[in-house]
Structure 1
Amino acid sequence: MTRTPTGRIEVVDGEHRLVIVRELRAPIEDVWAAVTESERLARWIGTFTGDPASGLVRFRMTVEEGAPEDDMEIRECDPPHRLAVTARSGDEGWRLELDLVERGGLTVLTFTQPGIAPASVDSVGPGWEYYLDRLVAAEAGDDPGDLDFGRDYYPAMADHYRTEA
């Protein structure tokens, strides 16, 4: 089943920002744990080593076979509402932000990637849709492995993101 893309590109002060929103039927504390605790992250995206209190951890995506361990700088951490990090791989850095708000039994997660290069949006957007859907599946007790990136996300969502960029 091809999924419907939900992300959008906003331009703020000349900077492109990828924004994707997900609603989870879970208390905000549970969603916070799912995005900040290594054991919980492992269910949907990856694991980290190191002490987050130091402001730097080593992160490895476990979904992508052979992915290297990269630095993840913690720029802002306001539990259980906001996490802002910079993922560093070689000379490249991606700023990533998660904002959580609890409303009426749901936790709304807003994922933002400020500074995204418009030329990469058609592949990066579907990738984040996939990972965030894996998060929703894991928190709902479903198997994130049932999601098919190659069939439902990329290239199926690429045109949506090209149009957004």
Structure 2
Amino acid sequence: MTPQPTGRLVRHSDGVYIVLDRVFLSPIDDVWGSLTRPYRLHRWLGECTGEPRTGAVRIRKAGIPDAQWDDVAVLQCDSPHRFRGEIGPSGASRRVYFHLSHASSYTTVTFGERVKPLATEAGVGVLAEYVLDRLVAGRTKHAMPTWDAYTAALLPYYEKLLREPPIPRAPAPAASALVE
């Protein structure tokens, strides 16, 4: 299956973010656990060390050739709705967030990563799609996607997207993002 781009640009008070949604037919606490519990992160994201309660964690993403360990500084964690953090080495870290909302038995995960609106940042969108698709595969027990398929399929979309002005707020998630 060829990956499909779902990201959009959204302007927040602290910058421009690539924002993506995934929707799960699951309780919010269960989806939150997939995003915050180290033993559950290991199933789809990769290796995770540290203690989230202390505000410092290290991750190494699975499925990406030569993946390095990334430091994660937890800036905000309001269970089960909001997480905000910095990923990467000091001075070169990237701001990320995820928000969860729940309605009618569905939980929506909205993920955002701050970018500069330049085509050189297009890889951020490709990586975000890949990581979120791994989350979907891990929760639905489907085969994990392979990294090789993502760059060729998604890079042109994100290069074009980052040349466009961001929208002021996030629209509702696309129906294609629905996961059972």
Report the TM-score, using the length of structure 2 for normalisation: 0.81
| Aligned counterpart, 2:134 | 134
- CA-atom RMSD in angstroms: 1.9
Query: Aligned ranges for residues 1-165 of structure 1 at < 5 Å?
Result: 1-12=1-12, 15-89=15-89, 91-116=91-116, 118-144=118-144, 147-151=145-149, 153-165=150-162
Return the offset for 1:137.
1.3
3-state DSSP of counterpart to 1:75: strand
| Contact 1:38 1:46 (8 Å CA) reproduced | no
Runs of 4+ residues over 4 Å off in structure 1: none
Aligned residues with identical type, % of pairs = 33
Return the offset for 1:120.
3.3
**1:19 and 1:111 mapped to 2: Cα distance?**
6
**1:100 and 1:19 mapped to 2: Cα distance?**
13
Task: Provide, for residues 102-150 of structure 1, a one-character-per-residue CA deviation record: whole Å limited to 9, x for no partner.
Answer: 1111110000112445233322211111110110111112222xx2332
> Which one-letter code corresponds to 1:27 in the other structure?
P
3-state DSSP of counterpart to 1:156: helix
Number of residue pairs matched by the alignment: 162
> Which one-letter code corresponds to 1:92 in the other structure?
A
**1:90 and 1:13 mapped to 2: Cα distance?**
22
**1:120 and 1:17 mapped to 2: Cα distance?**
14
Return the offset for 1:14.
8.2
> Structure 1 residues 104, 120: closer, same or farther in 2, change over 3 A?
farther
3-state DSSP of counterpart to 2:123: helix
